[in-house]
Structure 1
Amino acid sequence: MWKIYSKIAWRNLKKGKRVALINIFGLTLGITAAFLLFTVVSYELSYDNFQSNSDQIYRVVTQDEYSDGMSYTPGVSPPMPEALKADLSGIEAIVPVVNSSVFVTLDEAVTGSGENNFVIEDAFFTTADYPSLFDVEVLAGNLNSLNDPGQVALTETEAKKLFGTWENAFGKPLLLSKRIEASVGAIVADLPDNSNFRFDMLVSYKTMESNEEIFDTYFDEWGSFGSNFQVYLKLPEVGNPAQINQQLQAFADKNYKDRGTSKKSFFLQPMNDIHFDTRFDPISGEMIRKATIYTLALIGVFILLMASINFVNLSTAQAIGKSKEVGIRKVMGGSRGQVVFQSFGETFMVVFISATISTLAATILLPYLSKVAEVPETIQLITPTFLLFSVAIVLGVTLLSGLYPALILSGFQPIQALKNKIQVAQIGGVSLRRSLVVLQFVIAQVLMIATVIAVKQMTEIQNADLGFSKEAVYYFDLPSDEPRDGRLDVLKQRLEANSQIKSVSISSDVPSSNNNWASNFWFDDKREDVPFMASLKYGDADYFDNYGLQFAAGTGFSESDTLKEAVINETMAKRLNVANPEDAVGKRITIGGGEPWMRITGVVKDFAQNSLREEVKPFIIATERESYYVMGMKLDSSAGQQTLASIEEEFKNIYPDAIYSGEFLDETIANFYRRENQLSLVYKVFAVLSIVISSIGLYGLISFLVGQKLKEIGIRKVLGASISQITFLLSKEFIYLVLIACVIALPLGYYLTDQWLQNFSYKTTVPVGLYVLVMLVSLLITAATVGFRAVKAALDNPVDSLADE
C-alpha cells in the first residue's frame, strides 16, 4: 500500500512539474530561513545551560533609586562578599568574582623566546569555591590552589599561547602586573562560546586582597561600586530567593541607610537571566534582549507560514485538475480517508524534498550566519536538537500545508468530478485564499516597514552629530600597571612632533565610550551632596581641542596633574538649575564631597558620552594624571599606515615591555551598534524573502482564479473584450487585497517599530511618505506578479476554453 501511494505521489509530482517546482522552491525558502533562525535562537537560549547548577546560582546586583529615576549596576562594593557571609543565612556558597585585564610577564628561560609580555583580557579573581558554583573541567593541578595568594589557573588555550603547550604550563612561574610573583597551579578546559562566564585565567582572590594599590581595589571602601566586582550565591535546591531578597534589603538598610544621595538596595538576579537582562552587563561575553530573540523567532514563524500559504493556494488551484482522478478512485471503491492519505502523502513528499534541500542550503549558508548574528563561525547546524526540530518542521508543515487541500479533494462527489462539474464553491471558494494572501502581504509590509526604519535609524545614528569629532581620531590604551610619570609627557611631545598628527591628548577615555564612572559631588560651596550623580571624565588641557568639543560658555581648564579646575556640560548646568551656562563659570564644585574644590572654567555643549541609546548625563571633566588611561590624537588627512607604525614605534620606545593596542574612534563607536546593525540586516534579508514568497502566493491565487474563469475569459474574448480589459478584470481584486493588507500592516508596523525605537534616546523621525512608499512597492509587486499571469490568460485561444461546451 505504502509503495503504491508513493508511486502515485511521485507520478503526480512529475505530471505537474511546474507547480511542484514552485511549491518546492517556496517551501525551501521558508524552511531554510526557519533552520537558520532556529540555529541563532537556540544558540542564544543555550547560554550557560551546560552549567549543572544554573537553577541554583544567583548574582547579587545593585539598584540605586534617585529622585529622578533608577540606576543599576551588576557590581557590589569590595567589603560586601565577606559581610554577606556573616549576614545571610540559607546560602550554600558565596563567591566573589572580579573581572580585570592583567599584564603577565614570563621568564625568558621558561619560554625560550623573546615574546614574554602578554595581556590577559579576562582574568577572574576568585576563590577556591568557584567550582562549587560553576562547572570547570580541570586538566592538571587543583583549583584548591586558589586559596593561596599568587596562584593562578590558566585555560587550555591561554596556556598554549603563553607556554607553547598546556602541559608545559603547569607549575611554571609568572609575574602579574610586573610586581606580583605567581605560579600556575591548575590548567582547565576552555569554556564553550555560549557562556557569559568565559575567562582566560583564574587568579586567587587573596592575590587582589594583598595588593590593593596595584589593582586599585580597596576592601574597606563601602562606597566604591564597580561593575566588574561581582558576587554570586548558590542557594540550596529548595532555597527561597524571595527570602534572600528580604535579607539583602535588611543588609542594605544596615550598611547604606543615609549614605549618599540614593536609596540603595540589593537583590538576586537568576543566572539564567544574565544573558537577557539589559539592566546589568554580564561579567564577560555578550547579551541580547529577549525581545530580539522573540522577533527572530516570530520572523521564522511568519516566513514558514507564508510558504505554507503558498502551498495551500497552489494545491487548491490544482484541485480541479485532479477532480477526475479523485472521481475514478471513489468509483473504484476508494474511501475519503484513502484520498486524504494520498493527498497528505504528496504533501509530505514535497515537504520532505524541500527540507532536504533546505538542510543542504542552510549548511552552505552557515559560515555567513556570524555576519547577521552573534554566533561563532564554528557553530554546528546538525545537532540532536536540530534533528528534532527538523522532524517537527516536516510534520508540522505537512499538516499545515496539506490539511485544507486534502479535505477539499476528498470531499468531491464522484459523479460531478467525472463530469468535470466541480464548482468554485465545492473547493471552498476563493475567500479563504484571498484572506491568506492578505495575511502574506501584511507580514511582507511589516517587514518592509521594519527594514526601512531600521536602516534609517542606523544611518542617522552613524551620521548623527555626536558633539565631538570622531573622524581621523586614533587612540591607544596606556599601560595600566605603569606609573603616571614624566614618560607620558615625553610620549605626547614626540607624537606632537609628527607632522601627520595634528594634536594629542591624554585622558581617562575618549569622549564616547563604555565608561560609566560616576560620583556624588558638592556644588557652589554647599557642603552637601547634590541629589544626583555626576558622570566623570579626566583629561589634560588639550582634551577639548583634540576631540573638537565646543563650549556654550567659558573655556577649557589650564594644565594640571591634580584636581584644580573643571568643565561641566550643559545637562549638568540645567540639572543644577543654573539659568544660563555663563552663570556656572566661576562657581566651585568638588567630586566625592570634600577637598579639593575646583573652579568651573567652562560649560561644554552636550555630547554623546556613551551610545545614542542612552540619554546625555550630567558631566564633570577635570584633570587628574593618575586617572589617565588613554592617549588620543587627531590625524592629518594624509596619514596612512606609516603614521600608525610610527605611533606604535614611539609607544614601544617609551614602554618597551607594554602591549600596544590602537584603534580608530569611529570604529569603536560603530561597534556600539553592532547588534542593531545585524538586526537591520536580518530585516533586509527577510523582507526580500517575504516579497519573493508573497509573489509566489499571488501567482498561486491568480492561477486558481484563471482556472475558474477560463470559460468566462473565452466568452468575453469572443464578444470582443481586449487583452487590457481582461487583464484588468483579473487584476483589480488583487489591488483591493493589497490595499486591505496596507490598512492592517501600516499601523501594526508603526507600533512594532516604535517599540524598537524606544531603545534609543536619539530616535529617527518616521515620515508619512515612508508608508506611502511601502504601499506603492506592494502595489508594484502585485501588478508585476498578477499582470504576468493575467496577460498570459488573456492571450490564450478562447476556442480551447470553450471546446467542451
Structure 2
Amino acid sequence: MGNYFAIAWRNLKQNASYTTINIGGLSLGIACALLIYTVVSHQLQFDNFHPDRDRIYRTVSIYTTDVTEYQSGVPQPLGKAFTHEFDFAEKAAMVNTYQDALISLPDRAGIKFEEASGVAYAQPAFFDIFHFPLWKGDKNTVISSPHTAVITRQLAQKYFGTEDAIGKVIRYDNRTNFTITGILENIPSNTDRKQEIYLSYASMREKSAWLSSDSSWGSVRSSMNFFVRLKPGITAAQVNKAYPLLIKKYMDEEDVKTCTFVLQPLSDIHFNTTYDGYTNRKYLWALSLIGILLIVTACVNFINLATAQALKRAREVGVRKVLGSTRVQLFRQFMTETALICCFAALLAYGLAQLSMPLMNRLFGLRMSLSMLQHPSLLLFMVLLLIVVIFCSGFYPAIVLTRFQPVAALKGKLTQKHIGGFPLRRVLVIAQFGISQMLIIGSLVIMSQMRYNTTADMGFHKNGIVMVPLPPTDKDKQHTLRTRIQQLSGVKNISLCVQAPASSSNNYTGLRLNGEAKNRNWSVNMKEVDQQYATVFGLHFIAGGNFLSNDTLSGIILNENAVKKLGFTNAREAIGQVAILNGDVYTAPITGVVKDFNNHSLRSTMEPVALVLSPKYYRNCAINLNMASAHNTLAAIDKIWSETFPNHLYKYEFLDDRLAKFYELDTIMLRFVQIFSLIAIFIGCLGLYGLIAFMAAQKNKEIGVRKVLGAHLADILWMFGRELAVLLCIAFVIAVPVAWWVMNRYLQEFSYRISIGPGIFVTAMLCSVGIAVFTAGYRSFKAAILSPLKSLRAE
C-alpha cells in the first residue's frame, strides 16, 4: 500500500496543473456541501433536544369564513378550559410573548435595555414541557408567584455583572417590577423559543386586564400560545376530535360555526409558514439539491479531465501490464491517486468552510459551528461524502485506464474510442453547463421577483416614511410629540397609528351594518389610525372622505374589498351607512372608501380593511420625510422623542426596510443561489479550461497542418468553438424546461408575481456563452497562434 501512495504522489507532482485543477474544483464542491449540510442539519434539529418531543404540541386556531385564516395563537381562556374539561395532557401551559421589551433596573437609574427577543409570560408547567434547564432556582416554583421572573445566565451577567442576580429586581416596560427567582442556562440557537426573560403568568393582568380575563374568548393574539405534553397513548387525533365540544360550550354561536382548534406537533412549528414557521422544508430540500449538484459538477470535472488524460498515460499502463501488473493492482493505483487528490481537496474544503461560516451565521442570524468535536454527525458526513466523491470521481477513469491492451498501448495505437471517446466528455460537459444554466435561471427568476416585490405598487406610499415605535402612553404626550415633530422643516406629514397599511401584525374582527343581528361570515382587518393616516400613506379615496375629527370616533373608512363584500355595487352607496366593528366597540357611519391596498406581503391577496380612530391603541408614529434633509431631521426627531419619553429608548425603521422583512427568507435563498451559481460556474470553468488545454495538445499537429494548408485564425478558433457551441445549446435545451418547472412552482407562492418571460432564458444563455468564451477563448487563441514550425518539427 505504501508503494501505491509513493507512486501516486510522484504522478500527481508530475501533472501539477491537472492536480491543481482537480483539487480546486473538488474543494469548492465539498466546501459548499459542508456548509449546506451544516445549515440544513441545524434547521432540521430545531427543538429536537426536548425530552418526549414527539408528545409536545401547540394548539393553533383556524377560522373558516369565505376564506380560511390560520392563527398560531388561541384565546387566553383556552388553557384553563382545556385542563378543566379534558384529561389528555400530562402537562399544559399558556405562554404569551411580547417582542422588543424595555427592561430597566429600578436600583440603577438611567440604565435601560431593549431586548429584541422580548419577554414571555409563562405558566410554571412550561419548564416541565420544555427542556430549558435552570442554572439556579427550582423550576416548580420560580414563576409560580406574581411578580417573579427568570432570566438567562447571559442576561444576568449583562444586567448585574458578577453579582448574584437571584433576588434582584428588573422593571418591564417602565410599569411592573419583577423579582428574579431563577437563572436559566443560555438558550440554545436551535429553538424557536428565543425569549431570555420569563415572567409569571399571574402578573399578565397588569399588562392587559382584558386579555387576561376568562371572558376573552373572542380575542386571539398570534403570540398567545398553548402548549401541551400529551399523556402516553393519547393521540393528536383524539384531542382534535374533542375540541369542538369545548368550542360549543365556551364560545359564542358565531365562533362555533367558524372556529376550529387543532394540535400542531412541535416538529412542525419551525417549518410551517402557514402559521409562524421560520422556513419551509422545501427550501431546505432545494438547498440540499444545490449541494448535490455542486458535488456532481466537481466529480464530473474530475472524470472529464481524468479520461482526457488517459491517452497520455497509455504507455505507462502498457509497461506496467508487461511487467506483470494485474487490472486489480492498476485499479488500486489509480484509485489511490484519486483518494490523495480528494483528501487534499477535503482538507482545503474544510478550511474554506470554516472561513465562510461567520458569513453564514450573519445571513441566518444563528450560531452554527463546524466543530466536529461538538457535532460528530458532521465528521460522519465528511467521511461518507469523501468516500462517495472518491468512488464517483475515480471509479470510471480507473476502469478505463486498466482495460487498455498492453500491445496497443505500447505501439501508440490507442484512440479516443478506447477511453469512451469524445461522446463521454460531451455528456459530462453538457451536464456541467446544464447545472450552471439551471442555477443562473433560478437566480434570475428569484432576483426578478424580489425586484418586483420592492417596486410593485402596493396601493400606498412606502418611500420616505420612517416608523418610530410609540410606548404605551397618554393622549397628551402623543399630541405633544406629533405637534413638535410636525413643526420640523424636514417633515411633510405625520400620523399616529397601530401599524402601516401592510404589516405582519394585523387585527381581524367581525363587521356588520346597523340593523343586522349578526356579523357577516367574513373577517375584516381593522387598523386603528388617526386623521392624517390616509395623507401620510397616500391612500386614494374613491368615495366619501376622511374622518370628521381627529380625537373621537367620527367615522369608519373601508376599502373597496370590504364594500363589495357588504353587497354595495357602487362605493358611493356605502357612504353614510352605519357600520359596527369588533362586537359593538366601534359604531360609526362610513365616511370614506379607499382604493384597495396590500395589507400583507405580495404572497397574499388583498383583504377587507377597516380604518378606525382609536388613540389608545397607537403604537407607531409614521413620519413622511423630505429625504434631502433626512439625516438632520432624524436627529431632531430623536431629541424631541427622548424629551417626550425620557424613560424609553428611541429607535426607528424606514417602512421600505420593514416591508423587506416579508421576504427575508427569499433574500437569503437568493444569496445562496447566486453564490453557489458562481461556484458551479467556476468549477465548470476549471474543467473546461483543462479540457481545452488537453484538446489543444491533442490537436497540436492538426492545427499546424491546417495553418500550412492556409487556414485562418478564425478557422482554427472555430474548430474549438464549434463543438463548444453545440454542447452549450444541448445543455440549454435540457436546462430550460427543468428550471422553468422548478421556478414556476416557487412563484406560485406569490399572489402577485412576475411571469417567466423569454428574456430570462436569453440572459442565462448569454451568460453561459460569455463564460465559456472567456474560459476557453484564451487557451484556444494561444493554440491557434502557435507557429506551425514548432508543432510540426517532430514530423
TM-score (norm 1): 0.93
Please give the residue correspondences for 1:557-636 in structure 2 after superposition, counting only pairs within 5 Å: 557-594=547-584, 596-636=586-626
The letter for the 1-side match of 2:122 is T
* Mapped contact 1:66–1:261 kept (Cα < 8 A): no
The letter for the 1-side match of 2:97 is N
Most deviating of 439-448 and 714-723: 714-723
1:704–1:479 distance in 2 versus 1, CA, 3 Å: same
The letter for the 2-side match of 1:160 is Q
The letter for the 2-side match of 1:72 is Y
Q: What is the distance in 2 between the residues matched to 1:637 and 1:76?
A: 42
Please give the residue correspondences for 1:278-317 in structure 2 after superposition, counting only pairs within 5 Å: 278-281=273-276, 287-317=278-308
Task: Tell me the residue number matched to 2:72.
Answer: 74
Task: Tell me the residue number matched to 1:31.
Answer: 30
Task: Tell me the residue number matched to 1:539.
Answer: 529
* Mapped contact 1:39–1:381 kept (Cα < 8 A): no
Task: Compute the displacement of 1:227 (Å).
Answer: 0.6
Query: Does residue 670 of structure 1 match 2:666?
Result: no
Other structure's SS at 2:404 match: coil
Other structure's SS at 1:466 match: coil
Task: Tell me the residue number matched to 1:135.
Answer: 131
Most deviating of 323-332 and 548-557: 548-557
Task: Compute the displacement of 1:153 (Å).
Answer: 0.9
- Give per-residue Cα distances to partners, 1:517-541, cap 9 Å, x unaligned: 1001103643321121000111111
Query: Does residue 500 of structure 1 match 2:490?
Result: yes
1:429 to 421, 426, 447: 421
The letter for the 2-side match of 1:291 is K
Q: What is the distance in 1 between the residues matched to 2:115 and 2:709?
A: 86
Q: What is the distance in 2 between the residues matched to 1:486 and 1:776?
A: 63
* Mapped contact 2:510–2:523 kept (Cα < 8 A): yes
- Give per-residue Cα distances to partners, 1:536-563, cap 9 Å, x unaligned: 1111111111222221222111224443
1:379–1:616 distance in 2 versus 1, CA, 3 Å: farther
Task: Compute the displacement of 1:635 (Å).
Answer: 2.1
Task: Tell me the residue number matched to 1:271.
Answer: 266
Q: What is the distance in 1 between the residues matched to 2:773 and 2:642?
A: 66
Please give the residue correspondences for 1:108-257 in structure 2 after superposition, counting only pairs within 5 Å: 108=107, 111=108, 113-115=109-111, 121-143=117-139, 144-165=141-162, 167-208=163-204, 210-211=205-206, 213-214=208-209, 216-256=211-251
Query: Does residue 6 of structure 1 match 2:13?
Result: no
The letter for the 2-side match of 1:264 is C
Task: Tell me the residue number matched to 2:451.
Answer: 459
* Mapped contact 2:123–2:201 kept (Cα < 8 A): yes
Q: What is the distance in 2 between the residues matched to 1:442 and 1:257?
A: 59
1:654–1:9 distance in 2 versus 1, CA, 3 Å: same
Query: Does residue 54 of structure 1 match 2:49?
Result: no
Over aligned residues, Cα RMSD in angstroms? 2.5
Q: What is the distance in 2 between the residues matched to 1:740 and 1:254?
A: 66
Q: What is the distance in 2 between the residues matched to 1:179 and 1:774?
A: 58
Query: Does residue 400 of structure 1 match 2:392?
Result: yes
- Give per-residue Cα distances to partners, 1:76-102, cap 9 Å, x unaligned: 111110111133333211111111255
Task: Tell me the residue number matched to 2:746.
Answer: 756
Q: What is the distance in 1 between the residues matched to 2:644 and 2:214?
A: 33
The letter for the 1-side match of 2:424 is L
Q: What is the distance in 2 between the residues matched to 1:757 and 1:775?
A: 21
1:252–1:713 distance in 2 versus 1, CA, 3 Å: farther
Please give the residue correspondences for 1:649-664 in structure 2 after superposition, counting only pairs within 5 Å: 649-664=639-654
- Give per-residue Cα distances to partners, 1:467-490, cap 9 Å, x unaligned: 22222222322212x3x3322212
Task: Compute the displacement of 1:63 (Å).
Answer: 1.3
The number of residues matched between the two structures is 791
The letter for the 1-side match of 2:144 is N
Q: What is the distance in 2 between the residues matched to 1:258 and 1:527?
A: 12
Task: Tell me the residue number matched to 2:439.
Answer: 447
Task: Compute the displacement of 1:58 (Å).
Answer: 1.0
Structure 1's unaligned 5+ residue stretches are none
Please give the residue correspondences for 1:732-747 in structure 2 after superposition, counting only pairs within 5 Å: 732-747=722-737
The letter for the 1-side match of 2:335 is F
Task: Compute the displacement of 1:800 (Å).
Answer: 7.2
Q: What is the distance in 1 between the residues matched to 2:86 and 2:256?
A: 26
1:794–1:237 distance in 2 versus 1, CA, 3 Å: farther
Task: Tell me the residue number matched to 2:358.
Answer: 367
Q: What is the distance in 2 between the residues matched to 1:594 and 1:15?
A: 87
Other structure's SS at 2:310 match: helix
- Give per-residue Cα distances to partners, 1:393-421, cap 9 Å, x unaligned: 22111111001100001111111111111
Other structure's SS at 2:475 match: coil
- Give per-residue Cα distances to partners, 1:47-85, cap 9 Å, x unaligned: 222223322211111112223x32111111111101111
Task: Compute the displacement of 1:326 (Å).
Answer: 0.9
Task: Compute the displacement of 1:514 (Å).
Answer: 1.4
Other structure's SS at 1:168 match: coil
1:421–1:564 distance in 2 versus 1, CA, 3 Å: same
Task: Tell me the residue number matched to 1:413.
Answer: 405
Among all aligned residue pairs of Structure 1 and Structure 2, give the percentage whose two residues are the same amino acid. Answer: 32
Q: What is the distance in 1 between the residues matched to 2:175 and 2:681?
A: 63
* Mapped contact 2:32–2:294 kept (Cα < 8 A): yes
Task: Compute the displacement of 1:644 (Å).
Answer: 2.4
Other structure's SS at 1:41 match: helix
Please give the residue correspondences for 1:515-526 in structure 2 after superposition, counting only pairs within 5 Å: 515-523=505-513, 525-526=515-516
1:497–1:12 distance in 2 versus 1, CA, 3 Å: same
